[in-house]
Chain A
Amino acid sequence: MTPMLKTIADSLPTADTAPVQIRVRDVEKTFTVGPQKIVALQGIDLDIRRGEFVCLLGPSGCGKSTLLNAVAGFQPPTKGAVTVDGRTITAPGPDRGMVFQEYALFPWMTVAQNVAFGLEIKKMGKAEIAERVEWLLQKLHLQDFRNRYPKDLSGGMRQRVAIARVLALDSPILLMDEPFGALDALTRRTLQDELLRIWEEVGKTILFVTHSIEESIYLADRIIVMTYRPGTIKRDVRVDMPRPRDGAAPEFNRLKRELSQMVMEEQQRFSQDEIRSVTAD
């Protein structure tokens, strides 16, 4: 079968030499909640190269989703800017397809209709839409579910549909907000493997938010560990292990221990903050 998505992986020797695609410069984001001013992000500088798989890792409240939403264009930063291929992001768009943790499928559309929706917005021809939808349904093993409604699908199946829906757009960038967070461990692993397979095939840039240390090591080229309030970049860790990665390998575990320590430091600050807010009431 001829590939239906633009493949850039072939033209890239390694992710190291690829041009920078997402550029985050001195981004700050503050929220006001009642009398409190919360600094969700502060002084974030981050360059992501084309074709890179980057995980944002950290405990709740570290601003990893806020950063993703700034790249997606849902929440513009208070200060600083995000540029994609040199253009400043001001609004969401189909060049940055987003996969949400809560799937966000349209329940009134069947699986096939959900996948086709973005293409219909693009005003693509009917025959071409049908062909591409078919190809994506095959790719994500959804062909037997094309006429089902989301309510009749399991969580894993729903997330496959959501992935097919953004892949249909053929956007150069995929943004994923804890996409597998609500799934059981086995389904999660299956979808992680499928995501890697697709990523290697079509060479998208992926920015992936997770709070699972193992998931980030299993998937990413780079792991960005974030601090708890204000959200800053604590460490930028390269993962050079060849894929598929073995969760039992000593190298995997060494990295896991190292990352756990960093994340736990932030988790403790989060817990102390929670206790403080409870005792203050």
Chain B
Amino acid sequence: MSQAKPRFSPAVVVRGALVPVLMIALWQGLSSSGMINPVVLPSPVAVVERWWAYLLPADPYDPAQSSWILWALSGEMLFDAWSSLYRVVLGFAVGAGLALPLGLAMGGNPRVYALFDPLMQVLRPIPPIAYIPLAILWFGLGNAPAIFLIAIGAFFPVLMNTIAGVRHVDGIYLRAARNLGAGRLTMFVRVILPAATPYILAGARIGIGTAFIVVIVSEMIAVNSGLGFRILEAREFMWSDKIIAGMFTIGLLGLAIDIAMNRLNNHLLRWHRGLEN
């Protein structure tokens, strides 16, 4: 396509930073002018300061109490990020873990499909958020309802893509495998499942994105830790700088999850034709 340029040439960096720098300058200008109440819109400097304080440990380092590493990681933000990540991973594992075998069965067997499809079509349009009242009624408060909601958010994208993936396996692979003497089980495990992985992983990526949305919402309602909880808590104290610092952290965690998924994707699909760049 375009000529090969180094990814981080000065020109590229300047062009990429231009709009964000202008935005921040405008924001700082507005705050400094005193026209806007800092409770409504804190200055970028205040947000960065708050973010840094949120990241750092609350207590001074005391070697008698704990090791240096534990102290460095004892900040409120890292604990919140860890709580949110834990819920996303666990909820996603439950949702995708149920969706994958069901999707394989529905995609591979028309009778199973006919059995489950009507129910899935009815349940699928219900947003995971709509399960919140039921989740609290069933599981009370705490991690359980949050994980239930996240699992629902991850379940349907993985399910739908797994079904599609199994159904779109190129017939030539099935013919070649039958010719080599493959039985039903070998066909499924060694041919259909790997052939469907590009679809399944695309579904997993959508699923973990949904899980990340749901974790923030469910933390605002059902638990008292995590990034979602923290920014809602900050609102009660009118700490708008902490709200924005928290949002920024949510963005960073989302980015980290996306990069990790991308790495996993590239590794699992290293054989795939679309990944030669």
Q: Which residues of A contact B (CB under 8 A)?
A: 72, 74, 91-94, 96-98, 100, 102, 104-109, 117-118, 121-122, 149-151, 165-166, 169
Contact indicator per residue, chain B 164-180, by CB within 8 Å of chain A (1) or not (0):
00000000110111111
Report how far A151 CA is from B190 CA in the complex, Å.
18
Partner of A94, one of B181, B270, B272: B181
A108, B190: Cα distance in complex, Å = 9
The reply to whether the CB of B276 lies closer than 8 angstroms to some CB of chain A is yes
Q: Does B197 contact A (CB under 8 A)?
A: yes
Contact in complex: A106, B176 (CB < 8 Å): yes
Contact B197 A107 (CB under 8 A): no
Question: Is A106 a contact of B181 with CB atoms below 8 Å?
Answer: no
A74 to B178 alpha-carbon distance, docked (Å):
9
**Which B residues are in CB contact (< 8 Å) with A166?**
179-180
Q: For residue B271, which residues in chain A have a CB less than 8 angstroms away from its CB?
A: 107-109, 149-151
User: Chain A at the B interface: mostly helix, strand, loop or mixed?
Assistant: loop
How many chain-B residues does the 8 Å CB contact rule pick out? 22
Q: Is the CB of B172 within 8 A of A93?
A: no
B176 touches A100 (CB 8 A): yes
Q: Would A117 and B180 count as touching, CB distance under 8 A?
A: yes
A104 contacts B175, C-beta separation under 8 Å: yes
Q: Using Cβ atoms and an 8 Å threshold, which residues of chain A touch B186?
A: 121
* Residue of A104, A121, A151 touching B173 (CB-CB under 8 A): A104
Q: Nearest CB to that of B275 among chain A residues?
A: A151
The 9 closest A-B pairs by CB, nearest first: A94-B181, A104-B176, A118-B180, A108-B194, A149-B271, A98-B179, A104-B172, A92-B178, A108-B271
A72–B191 Cα distance when bound, in Å, is: 20
A118 to B183, CA, bound (A): 11
Chain A CB within 8 A of B195 CB: yes
- In the bound complex, residues from chain B placing their C-beta under 8 Å from that of A151 are 271-273, 276
**Interface flag for B182 (CB, 8 Å):** yes
Are A122 and B181 neighbours in the complex by a CB distance under 8 Å?
A: yes
Known A-B contacts A104-B173, A107-B273, A151-B271; the reply to A118 vs B181 at CB < 8 A is: yes
**Closest residue to B187 on the A side, CB-wise?**
A121
Q: Is the CB of A106 within 8 A of B179?
A: no
Q: What CA separation (Å) do A23 and B235 show in the bound complex?
A: 84
> In the complex, what distance in Å separates the CA atom of A169 from the CA atom of B173?
17
Question: Which residue of the partner chain A has the closest CB to B269?
Answer: A108
How far apart are A198's CB and chain B's nearest CB, in angstroms?
Answer: 18
* CB neighbours of A106 from chain B (8 A): 173, 176-177, 191, 194-195
Central interface residue in B173, B180, B183, by most chain A CB within 10 Å: B180
Chain A residues, CB < 8 A from B173:
104, 106
Q: Is there an interface contact between B180 and A149, defined as CB atoms closer than 8 Å?
A: no
From residue 242 to 277 of chain B, which have CB atoms closer than 8 A to chain A? Answer: 270-273, 276
State whether A108 touches B197 (Cβ < 8 A). yes
Contact B181 A72 (CB under 8 A): no
Given contacts A93-B179, A104-B173, A106-B173, 20 further A-B contacts (CB under 8 A): A74-B178, A91-B178, A92-B175, A92-B179, A93-B181, A94-B179, A97-B179, A100-B175, A100-B176, A104-B176, A107-B272, A108-B194, A109-B271, A118-B180, A121-B182, A121-B186, A149-B270, A151-B273, A166-B179, A166-B180
Report the nearest B residue to A119, measured CB to CB: B180
- Tell me which residues across on chain B come within 8 A of A100, comparing CB atoms: 172, 175-176
Please determine whether A98 and B273 come into contact, CB atoms closer than 8 angstroms. Answer: no
